Amino acid sequence: MNGKEYFFRLDALRACAVGGVLLQHFGYWIPIPLGLNLGSYGVQLFFLISGFLITGILKDSFAKKSVRKALWDFYARRFLRIVPIYYLAVFIYVITGMLGVEDSAPYWFYFVNWELFLQGHYLPGTHFWSLAVEEQFYLFWPLIVFFASRRFPVLLYSGFVFSGFVFFAWPALSMNQLPFGWTFLPSSAFSALAAGALLRHVYHRFSMKNWNGFFVTSVAVFLGVHLIPTSFWSPAFETVFEYHSLILLCFLLVGVVVRADTTLIDGFFRSRFIRFLGVISYGIYVWHMLAHHFWLFLKYSFGYHFPGKLDFGTGDFVASCVITLCFASLSWFVIEKPLLKMKRYFA
């Protein structure tokens, strides 16, 4: 398969992933079945999709170009896609006073995930931790793909998946708890990112019947982890198994989606609106908390209240989502899409 092959159904999965983030951050009052952490699940799905796509792009690039040219083009394209609107968002955080100038250095250098871990509490723009993890991942992953493309790819990618599990499980075993910010460290994302890379290597080697069977099994495992009483293990261990059963679920979900010629819900995957949400999902993620703050500023500045039960959170949720979509759409058409046209110089 060509590394630049377009898997259109992944746009819909991105839309689902960012929808989980919005529900977690804006819909905190909404009861979620089994206490599912939809925001965390959405981020892990993003990581796995990223590992899947980036590994394919790198494999294709290394096969056609010199290592130096492949790396130059890869980092140039990643810069065009990720950095401009992220830096703009950080700049807005600073000029509006939500983030002090003296406190902004970790954000500019994609170090905020480590800052969260070291400080031991949430910071403005905490959601940027996942972008920092992804940038740190990009620093070394091209070399891993380069070596894996020559020998032992399954072993190498599986090793990273396992190392992520060990890193996660270690404090649960030794301290019976996960320190604050532990999930924000780059090694905590190894499992999802490397699982995406492993999937890229093996997805076409199994039949659709196999993928469907694997997926049904993984759903059962995932639900089982949530339904077993927590008295059987510590809360830290529950988090470890929940996290990695989720990665297994995402792994097989993406496998089913990219392998299938058609699906039972192909209308959803082919919906222009859903796919557009997937296309602008990065902008939605970057801008959603600023959109929420902007809505709260308008609401309290003008003393506006929604009628009846809408004022209990539903109105805020809808307003924040609408403003987020407006910001992300504007960002896409005015900034991101024009910049992405420059990728042709690094093809």
Q: Answer left, alpha or beta for residue 233, where phi above 0 means left and psi between -120 and 50 means alpha.
A: beta
* pTM of the predicted protein model: 0.89
Contacts of 32-36 with C-beta under 8 Å, sequence gap 24+, read 34/223, 34/226, 34/227, 35/226, 36/226
| Sequence spans of domains, the chain | 9-346
pLDDT in tens, the chain (347 residues): 444 567 888 999 999 999 999 998 887 666 665 556 788 889 999 999 999 999 999 999 999 999 999 999 999 999 999 999 999 999 999 999 999 999 999 999 999 999 999 998 899 999 999 999 999 999 999 999 998 888 888 889 999 888 888 887 787 777 777 788 888 998 878 889 999 999 898 877 776 666 677 777 767 766 665 666 554 556 666 677 777 777 877 887 888 788 776 666 778 888 999 999 999 999 999 999 999 999 989 988 887 776 665 555 778 888 999 999 999 999 999 999 999 999 999 98
Supply the DSSP string of 26-46, one letter for each residue.
H-TTSPPGGG--HHHHHHHHH
* CA end-to-end span of the chain: 17
Residue 74: both structure tokens together: 């890869």
Burial 286-307 (b: 16+ CB within 10 A, else e): bbbbbbbbbbeeebeeeeeeee
CA dihedral 230, 45, 251, 134 (to 10 degrees): -110
Question: What angle separates helix 38-64 from helix 9-26, to the nearest 10 degrees?
Answer: 150
In 3D, which of 142, 150, 144 has the Cα closest to residue 72? 142
